[in-house]
Structure 1
Amino acid sequence: MYTFLVTFHLMGIVKKNSLREYWSTEPMFATPFFATLFSQDRFLALLRCLHFVNNATAILSDPLHKIRNVLISLTSAFGLVFVPYKDLCIDESLMLWNGRLAFRQYIPSKRHRFGVKFFVMCDVKTGFVQDIIVYTGSTTDIKHYEGLGVSGSVVMTMLAPHLGKGHTLYVDNWYSSPTLFQHLLSKSTGGCGTVRSNRKGMPAFGCRKMRRGEVEFKENAQQLALKWLDKRDVHVLSTVHTATVSATGKVDHLTGERKIKPDYVLDYNLKMGAVDKADMINSFVECARKMTKWYKKIFFHLIDTAVLNGSIVHRQLTGEMITEQGIFVIGCTVHIQIHYAIIVTISHPPTHCLIIV
């Protein structure tokens, strides 16, 4: 099974239009290495039979019952193998899926727009994916907190193991609210994020017209809110920053003046992109291909995430900088070949088969 998974990851590096092309004997397109791992028929049979639950004992009311065991195992492992640094961020990720699915989502701002939505918590410094929750609508696996709504409950569910440890959370305006940040503050956890101006508890800002680059601060209990005019009004809320501004290093070409931004806008922009960065890295070597079954697509998406986390842990332990995710995947392939696979050559390359021991 290890070799089966690694074969899929190699397919993420060597891109082809269909699975059968990896066993093509055409000189222009041939990749004979894949035939030394599996015969085509054996590989496709394993993929077709891939299943993660006993249907006789599955909880059919759970929308994720076909993948729940794998999801629990992997997310539990993520939390055990890595202790995050101070800064964490939570954001949404979308896995492409155009087929029928009750909890398929449409997010126009994402690259794929249609697909399965994940709530993802990342360590800002390393990009390690700390936790994942699959969004399934009203049945999403979160603990509901009174007064915090769905978005606040998502945050509290994911942060639960890390509360009281001095972390700072960065989120966007779907999650941020004075109520949530005050609740986090009571758990010794800071918060920073863009926020909707009409959130309950937000201080009122003046109605005067502001010039571009101008900023207005309002203090609300232990929270600091700002209104800053960029291309449009930007509202930010923080419990860990002060009312200061800094030069960005850029110059306004019209006025010749140095551009300045509030410090916690600079900090937010720097630290909020960890989830998008993880998506970007995975997109280069993702093994999740076009599937007829949604749960198989989620499975391979989770495996991609596990490999990304593995490369981050490897870098943290060894100090070795792996500049490309594909190089790490190839290293894993060599290791698994040595330890888990016995390659048996039959009369000709396309029919080589693999015995997994």
Structure 2
Amino acid sequence: MGTYEKEQERLQCLLQECLSDEDNNKFFEPDGTSDEYEPESSEDFDSDLSYYDNQPPNKKNKVTKNFTSGVQHDDNDGLGPSTSTGITTHLQPFDTEQHIYKAIESVIRQMDSLSSSDEEENQNTNDCDYQWETVTGSHLKKISFNENSTGFRAELYETMYNKTPYDFYKLFVNDDIINLIVTETNRYAAQRIAKNVHPNARVKSWKPTNAEEIEKLLGTILWMGVCPYPQLQNYWLKDKIYNNYIRNIISRNRFQLLLQMLHFSDNSILSNDRLQKLTPLLDKLKDSFQDPITPSENVFIDETLVPFRGRLKFLQYIKNKRHKFGIKMFKLCLEKGYTYNFSVYCGKSKDEQMSVPSKIVLDLMGNLLDSGRTVYTDNWYTSVSLATELLKRDSVAAECKEGIVVQKWRDKREVLCLSTKHTDEMVNVPKRGQSISKPKIILEYNKCKAFIDLSDQVKAYNTSLRRSLKWYRKLALELLTGTSLVNAHSAHQEIANEKMSITKYREEVIKELLKDREDSILKNVVPEQPAHVLENVGRTNRRRCTTCYANMSKQLGSKEAARKTAQSSLKCSECNKHYCLSCFF
């Protein structure tokens, strides 16, 4: 038997070993769990999106899969060595051609069964109706991107090129949003005061707020991210070690009262919506995010977690995240980390006709459907049913006649991709002085995955989030001081003449937000100290020198200071305190 025949026999035995028993196939056997990708280093990965390493032999290997350059991994080495650079669904059939196609159909069925990590999601899709063939690209639907101009609106380049960082921030947190916060905060405070609260309650001292004070509140919160202190009260300490000029902007009691009253909707309007307390704000923010820009051809959808550990019905736990507990948000991101659309996950609705991942993708795409755009997602959203639905809307998401391609590639581990745009094309890329072959679908996925990674990375710098906030306030402040600021910085970098880092940009916005206006209601927070005017009140009315007593108390204690401090007959007629001549001069 010649070398060629031996090689054919070896490959055929290898393939039969992989596909002989579908029940024992570890590559695509779900374990009922959900894991989410989170990059653990900045290094470009090869198989690229897997973090499953060295699974115990007594446990089933975890499987992930990704959509439209979505990637599926497992760590099983059952295929053994291979002379090719990767194994894909377009292998040429041997005598077991029918067996191969049945196995491919089984893979697709199980991909749909893994389309959601939530146990309540179970969508029955009859994928056996798909006829899978060798990849040629002939069945791919030709969808052209039909947007004439993308990026920020042309008029912004004319009107905003010489504007300040604060002006760009106001593009997203505009006057409508500030006025909404002012109205609802004052309304909520009035509702609280109308209740039978304790006579000495802090809310009794409430004075209606205005737009300038809300901006100062946001500026103070941003400043706290740039200058983090151990506790909130440290920002108002008079100790020189803290150097707190924020005391001249807003008092501690007023700041805490504003945080306590901060509101974004009318509590008197009853609703079954779990996001009732945030809906007006979320709608306005979405409009401000989408109005200045037209997305390019490629967009990316993924989730992010806002840290929160309080009581909440839709609180999420993701063990592989840095912050394991929190509120899950889904974001549609563009180039340079710009967040175009977002939604908050509140659990599955009972009347939904499709799986949660599919519904999220279609909702976030919204008006971007029917335009030829390519949406990239990770394993949680990937399913043949979603790919079919996107094909109906002219959105690109073993080739079948319906125009869906499945490709399996092996580098360090197995990678399973599903796409309605790409073929099985392989490209050579340089790595450590040599050239390696990788599927084009994976390269393009990694490029677009950087959209949301950049957004989360920049947002994490100098974060202002703190504990002890109610969930809706924490989520709102994350959007107002995090996502909005990143979008504003992205617009500033693209349009403005002066380029700056995100930290420098944040500092410039803080300066403008904390700047005093003529109609400020905060100017009397810390009054200037008047000049002392001393008068002699006589020996019988002597009292301890205020300055001497304070200095001696720090050194000897109050009792010893009271005994040793000299008394003075000089009293200030303005502040009614006694001073000795040495302290006065």
- TM-score category by the smaller chain? 0.7 to 0.9
How far residue 76 of structure 1 moved from its aligned partner, in angstroms, is 2.2
Where structure 1 has 5 or more consecutive residues not aligned to the other structure, the ranges are 192-217, 349-357
Q: Residues of 2 paired with 1:276 and 1:258: CA distance?
A: 26
2:225 to 1, 12, 26: 12
| SS of alignment partner, residue 118 of structure 1 | strand
Note the 1:1-357 alignment, pairs <5 A.
Answer: 1-32=214-245, 34-59=246-271, 61-123=272-334, 125-139=335-349, 144=352, 146=353, 148-191=354-397, 218-221=398-401, 222-251=403-432, 258-303=435-480, 304-318=482-496, 320-323=498-501, 325-338=502-515, 340=517, 342=520, 344=523, 346-347=527-528
Runs (4+) of structure 1 moved beyond 6 Å? none
Displacement after TM superposition at 1:346 (Å):
0.9
Q: 1:30 to 1:251 in 2, by over 3 A?
A: closer
TM-superposed CA distance for 1:182, in Å, is: 2.5
Q: 1:99 to 1:338 in 2, by over 3 A?
A: closer
Which structure: larger Rg? Answer: 2
Measured in 1, the distance between the counterparts of 2:468 and 2:339 equals 24
Task: Specify the SS of the correspondent of 1:103.
Answer: coil
Structure ranking higher in strand proportion: 1
Give, in angstroms, the shift of residue 162 of structure 1.
0.6
1:90–1:122 CA contact under 8 A, matched in 2: yes
Alpha-carbon contact 1:248-1:260 (below 8 Å) kept:
yes
**Structure 2 unpaired stretches of 5+:** 1-213, 530-585
Say what the alpha-carbon RMSD is for the aligned residues: 2.2
Partner of 1:198: none
Judge conservation of contact 2:225–2:464 (CA < 8 Å) in 1. Answer: yes
Q: Deviations over 1:6-59 (max 9, x none)?
A: 111111111112221111222222222x12211112111111111222221142
**Sequence identity (%):** 29
Shift of 1:114: 0.9
In 2, distance between residues paired with 1:74 and 1:68?
10
The separation in 2 between residues aligned to 1:226 and 1:95, in whole angstroms, is 34
**Which whole-Å deviations, capped at 9, do the CAs of 1:180-232 have from their partners, x for residues lacking one?**
122212222112xxxxxxxxxxxxxxxxxxxxxxxxxx322322221011332
How many positions carry a matched residue from both structures?
310
User: Could you tell me which amino acid in structure 2 is paired with residue 79 of structure 1?
Assistant: Q
Name the CA shift for 1:63/1:49 in 2 (closer, same or farther; >3 Å). same
If the length of structure 2 is used for normalisation, what is the TM-score? Answer: 0.50
**Residue aligned with 1:268, SS:** helix
Give secondary structure in 1 for the equivalent of 2:461: helix
Deviations 1:266-318 (CA, angstroms, capped at 9, x unpaired): 11112113223212211112222113311111111111111111111222222
Q: Distance in 2 between matches of 1:139 and 1:179?
A: 19
Tell me the TM-score normalised to structure 1 length: 0.81
Is the CA contact (8 Å cut-off) linking 1:9 and 1:287 kept in structure 2?
yes
